[in-house]
Amino acid sequence: MKILKKIGIILVALIAIILIAAIFVSKEIVYEKTIKIDTPISTVWEHVNSLSDLDKWSPWNDYDPNMKKEFTGTDGAIGATASWESDVKEVGKGSQTIAKIEKPTLFETDLKFYEPYESEAKGYIKLVKENETTMLTWGFKSEVPYPFNLMNLFTDMEEIMDKDWNNGLSKLKNLCEKQS
């Protein structure tokens, strides 16, 4: 009986340590990539200012070109929504709603993922004019609830996201530079 009591005390202590440690770990997740596109900002803006434009270079279309998609609202206007659904785990089910537009420097969306995991994020594309080229930053911000935020210590966002982000940014760069 004493051994069970000691095991119980050790388990409670470990759980308490984990819960206390999670208090000090950031809940925020931020991931972004920047690419230089050798075209004027106006050309790049044409490829990022609506949900249908984002879909043209979306890396997730490669995982499931037959995913179900639905666009509602006035595309390119605040409140327009793109929804998708796929049986492919990398794609899942979710929606993206235009939240903010500052032509030609910012396109922001509210992302909701339902499958394979429920979560929400703020997606964004930022453009900065540099002479006749454009620096484009594509990213997102999200929060992980306590105590699951402890996983942020063990999660490598670059390992998880880089392949898809680089694929999408390469497609976008090719689209923009081909147009020039």
Q: Give 111-168 pLDDT, tens digit per residue.
A: 999 998 899 999 999 999 998 899 999 999 999 888 888 787 777 878 888 899 999 9
Instruction: Locate the domains of the chain by residue range.
Output: 27-179
CATH of domain 27-179: 3.30.530.20
Query: Could you identify the residue written with the tokens 């206007």?
Result: 77
Looking at residue 180, what is its pLDDT?
A: 66
Its sign, for the CA torsion 6, 12, 14, 20, is negative
Q: Give 54-65 pLDDT, tens digit per residue.
A: 999 999 999 999
Q: Give 64-94 pLDDT, tens digit per residue.
A: 999 999 999 999 999 999 999 999 999 999 9
Half-sphere exposure of 55 (CA within 13 A, CB side): 19
Distance CA 88, CA 64 (A): 7
Looking at residue 116, what is its pLDDT?
A: 86
Task: Show contacts of 100-108: CB within 8 Å, 24+ apart.
Answer: 101/49, 101/76, 101/77, 103/45, 103/49, 104/41, 104/42, 104/44, 104/45, 104/49, 105/41, 107/48, 107/49
**Which of 30, 31, 47, 33 minimizes the C-alpha distance to 166?**
33
Q: Give 2-15 pLDDT, tens digit per residue.
A: 888 888 888 888 88
Residue 112 contacts residue 93 (beta carbons within 8 Å) = no
Looking at residue 136, what is its pLDDT?
A: 98
pTM for this predicted structure: 0.85
